[in-house]
Homo-oligomer: A and B are copies of this chain.
Amino acid sequence: MRDTRAELLMQAETLVRGRGYSGFSYADLAAAVGIRKASIHHHFPTKADLGAALVAAYAARYEAALTAIRAEHPDGAGRIAAYGRLYLGGVEQGLGCLCAALATEGDALPERLHHDIVRFFEAHLAWLERVLAEGRADGSVRASLDPAAYARFVIATLEGALLMERLLGGPEAFQGTLRALDESLR
């Protein structure tokens, strides 16, 4: 992966997470990176290509983070808390979730992107379900909780809190929701 290409991906991600997919143009991105519009097309022929690369890179980063969390935190509740802190980073930077931004524009999105986002969320659901089931076994998570249903509940709460607190309550408010979420699974 080229240096310019990486820079393009980074700046494009910031743009999408701040203004949405149809909210930024190749001209915006070119200005942000300090390159000409035509050069972006050299790396990403169409905007949909760029979008797909964005989701792929974002998903890969999250996948690595999820693996690290399982390795570094021994118990279920601690892992969910660490997962929640991933979203906190977005609030601190004032940026939403890339896939939430894309999901919002779902109806206008290229089919291929639509599918990539679904896969992103499904990967998180599968990870959470597993972590919750393990947490039930290790006793850090209450036994009455249904891992599959609760996995959805966790993502929903975190995505929604990121969406809202990014422009309302900031990191402190977000951490309050993090605490409420932690309570609810013990």
State the A residues within 8 Å of B (CB): 18-24, 96, 100-101, 103-108, 114, 117-118, 121-122, 149-150, 152-153, 155-161, 163-169, 173, 176-177, 179-181, 184
Contacts and interface: CB of A to CB of B under 8 A. Distances in A.
Interface of A is mostly: helix
A159 B152 contact: no
Contacts of A169: 152
Contacts of A180: 149-150, 153
Given A117-B167, A149-B176, A180-B149, A19 B107 contact: yes
B168 A118 contact: yes
Contacts of A108: 18-20, 23-24
A104 B101 contact: yes
Contact of A118 (B100, B117, B159, B167): B167
A152 B168 CA distance: 10
A152 B158 CA distance: 11
A160 B155 contact: yes
